[in-house]
Structure 1
C-alpha cells in the first residue's frame, strides 16, 4: 500500500507542477471541481443529469483552462519542454484529449440521427428524453474513457500506475478544491501565473 500511495502522490505532484501554472487555469479547475462534487452526489439520483453537468460544465471549464490559458512554452520551473511533458503525461495529454472530446461532441449528433442506436435502446420521445439519452451516453463515455486509459497504463507501465491514476482522477475534485481554492484571490490581485516557488525547490 505504501508503494500505491507514493505513486498516487507522485502523479498528483507531477500533474500540479507541470500542468497548472496559470491562475486562470487553477480557478477554472476550482469551478470544475465544485461542479464535479455536485455531479458525484447527483449520480446516485440521476446518472444522466449528473453526466450532463459533469461534461457540459466541469469538463468544459477544466479543459478550457488547459487549452486556452496554460502556458505551452518552455517550462522554466521544471526545466522541461512542452513536448517532453506531453510525452511523459500519465493521463490524457492534449492529443488524447482531442480524441476524447471529439467523441463527446459526436455522441449527441449520433443520438439525434439514430435515436435507437440501431435498435439497442428505446428511441427518445421529446427533448427531455433525448437529453437523458445524451447524458447516459456521456456517462458511459466517461466510464469507458477511464477504464481504457487504466488498461493502457496497466499494459505499458504496470497495474500500480493504472490504479493510482484511476484513484487520482476520481479524487481530483476533492484535491483540486484544497489545492486551488485561493487561485481566484490571486487572480483578483493581478497574478496570472503561479510563481511555483514551492515547486522550484523540489524540481532542482
Structure 2
C-alpha cells in the first residue's frame, strides 16, 4: 500500500472496530474540537495546551471508549473484543490504562520530587505546580506517540509507524469530518453506527 492508502486503512479499521456507539462518536467530536484548541495553544502557551489536551480532549475521548463502546462480540465486523485488542495498531485499551496511569501519577511524582531530578524549577505555589505538571503531561503525550511509533517500526515497518503517527496528529480534523452528524443521530435515537454509510475517503475494498 502507499502511505495514503495505509492511512485510510488505519483510519477505517479504527472507526469500524472502536467507534460503533454514537455517544462515543459525539465525545470524539468534542474531543477533536478541544485538540484543535490545544494545537493552537501549544505555540504560545504549552502548559495551557497540555491542560486542554489532557483534561478535556483526552478525558472526553477515553470516556467514550471505556464507558460507551460495547465490549461484546462485534456482529458487524465478525470479530471478538479480544481479537480487536490484539490487532489494534495504536494504543488498545490495556495500553491506554498504562498510559493514563502514568498521566495520573505525574502530580504525585512532582510532589515527591518537585524538581523532577533537576529537569524543572521547583514550584513555589499552586499555579507553578499546575504549570510544571502540565509541561510533564505535554512530554508524556509526545513521548507516548514517539514510543509507539518506534515500536511499530519494529512490529510492522517504518511506513506503518509513520502512518500511525500521521493518523494520530490528524485525527482531530478527521474526527470532526466523520462524526459531525453524531448529535443528529443521537437525537433520532440511533445509538449505534451500522457502518453501512461508507465514507468517501475509504476505498471500497477496505469496506469488507
TM-score, structure 1 normalization: 0.96
Matches within 5 A, 1:29-108: 29-108=28-107
Q: Structure 1 CA distance, aligned partners of 2:156 and 2:207?
A: 23
Q: Is the 8 A contact 1:25 1:70 kept in 2?
A: yes
Matches within 5 A, 1:109-128: 109-128=108-127
Which runs of at least 4 in structure 1 moved beyond 6 Å after TM superposition? Answer: none
Please, what is the CA RMSD of the aligned residues?
1.5
Q: Structure 2 CA distance, aligned partners of 1:79 and 1:70?
A: 16
Query: Where in structure 1 are there 5+ consecutive unaligned residues?
Result: none
The one-character-per-residue Cα deviations of 1:27-49 (angstroms, maximum 9, x if unpaired) are: 00000000000000000111111
Q: Is the 8 A contact 2:47 2:134 kept in 1?
A: yes
Q: Structure 1 CA distance, aligned partners of 2:163 and 2:182?
A: 26
1:203 Cα deviation from its structure 2 partner? 4.7
Query: Where in structure 2 are there 5+ consecutive unaligned residues?
Result: 199-204
Q: 2:192 is matched with which residue?
A: 193
Q: Structure 2 CA distance, aligned partners of 1:17 and 1:69?
A: 15
Q: Is the 8 A contact 1:8 1:164 kept in 2?
A: yes
TM-score, structure 2 normalization: 0.94
1:151 aligns with 2:150: yes
1:202 Cα deviation from its structure 2 partner? 5.8
